[in-house]
Copies of this chain bind each other. A is one copy, B any other.
Amino acid sequence: MAGKEAPMATRRAQTSRESRQLLIRAATELFAERGFRQTTFADIANRSGISRGSIPWHFGNKDGLLQAVIEELTVNMADLDSAAHDLADGLDRVRDQVRQPTMRLLITLVAEAVEPGSPVHAFYAQLHDTIRKWVAGWVAESDIPTGTSRADFVAVVVGAIIGLHQQWRVAPESVDLDRCFVALKAMSISGRDAT
């Protein structure tokens, strides 16, 4: 009996992990498409094919689900940093990341990011901080304009990334993302080839 229970428990755990992943994927898509508040458990159940009742079982409540979505996103973005050699390479990788459909989430969630009590606020504060650390790591001392600190320079570069993403999401026909990232490199990496 004990010998039979183990594989069944394993299969059950496997199914549970798969359901969890399917729910996270559906929630990520829906939050990105219509925003956090406008998405219901019923929408997520429909999109994922997983029963509505299992959502609180996995995540407690909607904030818990959002937390899981955010953790998944953060894990996926962490690859970005470890792979980049320098600012030019890092910016190329960021540009490719910005194009991902799920990154639209960063626009639909930002309203909640300025509500101090919201889990989204902590996420954005953390996300901005993480990206600033990455960019700081990619920047050579020689790149920083005279009279400017590394921290301020980095905040401007991260600002440009955030603001190019926003302009492009709002009106993709008005902003050429590839060429704008070339311009950002030209402005950020002085005195050497930026393309």
Q: What are the interface flags for A84-127 relative to B under an 8 Å C-beta threshold, 1 for contact and 0 otherwise?
A: 00000000000000000000100111111111000001001100
Stretch of A2-10, A53-61, A67-75, A168-176 with 4 or more beta carbons under 8 angstroms from chain B: A168-176
Q: Assuming A107-B113, A152-B182, is B170 touching A125 (CB within 8 A)? A: yes
Main secondary structure of the interface of A (DSSP, over half): helix
Given contacts A163-B161, A167-B162, contact A153 B114 (CB under 8 A): no
Residues on B with beta carbons closer than 8 Å to the beta carbon of A179: 149, 152
How far is B188's CA from A20's CA once the two chains are assembled, in angstroms? 47
Residues of A within 8 A of B (CB): 34-35, 37-38, 104, 107-115, 121, 124-125, 128-129, 132, 145-149, 151-153, 155-167, 169-171, 174-176, 179-180, 182-184, 186-188, 190, 194-195
